[in-house]
Structure 1
Amino acid sequence: MSRPKPSGRSYGRLTRHERNTVERMLDRNRSAREIAAELGRSPSTVTREVAAHRYVTAPRSRYGEPAPADLSGACPRLSAWPRCCNGCSHRRGYGCSRRPRVFYSARRAQEAADAELSASRSGIDETEEGAAAKLAAIRDGLARGLSPQQIAATTPGLSASTVYRWVDAGYDGMTNMELRRKVGYRPRSRRAPKRATSHSARRSHASFLALGEDACAAAWEMDTVEGSRGDSARLLTLLHRPSRFQLALPLPDGTCASVLAALSSLRGVLGEDGARRAFGAVLTDNGSEFAD
């Protein structure tokens, strides 16, 4: 039983499932009307689909190319329905000396249709006069130093994103060098990943836990806080876990020597005994600034 033709179809493109059905029924030597009835489409849609998306398998030098429009002198199956070698008793060319050999594949047809749709969405969707007027407005605005937003605000039917896209595509010979802000953007810096710093066994987390529950609970957490990008200065922070009291010591940079100098100044204020009593255990990460 044939399926009724669906109503309210939003677009005429065949789906991948429908193309699979076309290929399967071609392999069974079904007519265009039978395939159309199965899909709920018109026979002309089926014949156009097969004719448009056939590809050559032989000769080998033309493998994968679309089938040529003029197939005079070729196998009669290629000039009239089914317009391809699908369903032929000599399928895949076994025992067949005719050239070219042409097949319909649902996968290849879907890829070709997707490429056609993508290409149709690119370029300028304007009349020649309208495109020329908008390109002239963009060219004039850029020459006067206007931003894409300002050009769009003074040109009806033109958006800032369209200005950026047309300039980036190089329409009318324009280049991104004419976009003053875009030229002024600094390239993003890519920092090299930090290498893991090796520490002695007595600096391991297992050694910290071995100090006992009371010592761990009363420990300080030490870390460095970076400032703005490109500024080497930072803060050395010491957080007391039980009281949430925090010290912040300025550092000129993130080197191990700077951390040692800051801790030495703190030891100079508290004294050696005071520093030992106050900072019984200090927990840090494996950053290179804490290697010593």
Structure 2
Amino acid sequence: MGHGDYERLTPEAIDQVWLRMRSGQAAKPTARELGLCTGTVRAYLIRCGGIRPEPRRRASGRLSLAEREEISRGLAAGRSVRAISVSVGRSPSTVSREVNTNGGRRRYRAARADLAAWSRATRPKPCKLADNPTLRAIVEEKLARRWSPQQIDGWLKLTYPKRPEMQVSHESIYRTLYVQSRGALRKELTRYLRTGRVIRRPKGVRLPDGRGGRPNTLHISQRPAEVSDRAVPGHWEGDLVFGKNMSPVATLVERKTRFLMLIGLPRGDHRADAVADALAAAITTLPTQLAKSLTWDLGHEMAQHQRFTVQTGVQVYFCDPKSPWQRGSNENTNGLLRQYLPRRLDFRTLTQADLDAIARELNERPRQTLDFKTPSQALAEALR
């Protein structure tokens, strides 16, 4: 992609593009509203990595256009460099370098000299990952293992606490991946990010997608205090995630340790009785101290919650309508799972062994909310 793909954007148009991007608008409607070519807007956003470049500013110590015009007038009047330097308020050596760099006395032109100086002043900030091949190799290896930049950041701080040269912020990793001009990390590593995106997009507000009520339910507010404050392990949050052709997998996340269990449903059957039986079969394999309660949303798949409770002794609590955020640990984990279970995949092609392997990999990844311990480590400590 050459400069011609994005140079047509005026500063005013660029301001409008970023304003609309922050509000959650996509490139195509943004281009349409501004009367621009969609390819122009997309090319600009991809080159920037979805991150607005910091506006360039002239350093206070540099010659301004007005000062260069004064120099040009002085040269035209035949004045000496020393006399011009007095009127400009600069040292004679500064004025002399300015004139000699830009064509000498006869060919000096203020506007052309100012434009050339602005172009020469471009100094990309050195990228830490480009200058440190050892650190770059570590970051690439962790990204290939599907660690998030934030997890890598936290792990590096724990592993190299007294070596700042072996630490890099998650923001630097994102910018190095997204912004083409930095180029320290291989661009194809973006496929290991959970979103798989090649540009950053602003966080948008997603509308809740709750379901209808269930008879004979216990409300989430009726849960014991030990559930709400995550004081002890054994309290789970659950949901179904769906793939191609409405193929489902059940997810269970332990609230204290974020430990994940994935449960395949026979033949993709997500009717209430099949879900209750599959969940009961998984829960009954756990130690007693890890099977205390389950929090679910108001989906139809848990209509047989009383049947599940009879089979397991685990009480089910339900969220408010349209309030999936009340199962925050589960919602967050489901987002992580999309890296392994994309919507385009038919989950019926996966065996329980496949699901166990995915859960194991997630349970062995450090989590910021656990001070960068893994869920497996946190669960082992909680059981001790």
TM-score (norm 1): 0.39
Q: Which has the higher contact order (CA 8 A, sep 6+)?
A: 2
Structure holding more helix per residue: 2
From the CA coordinates, give the structure whose radius of gyration is larger: 1
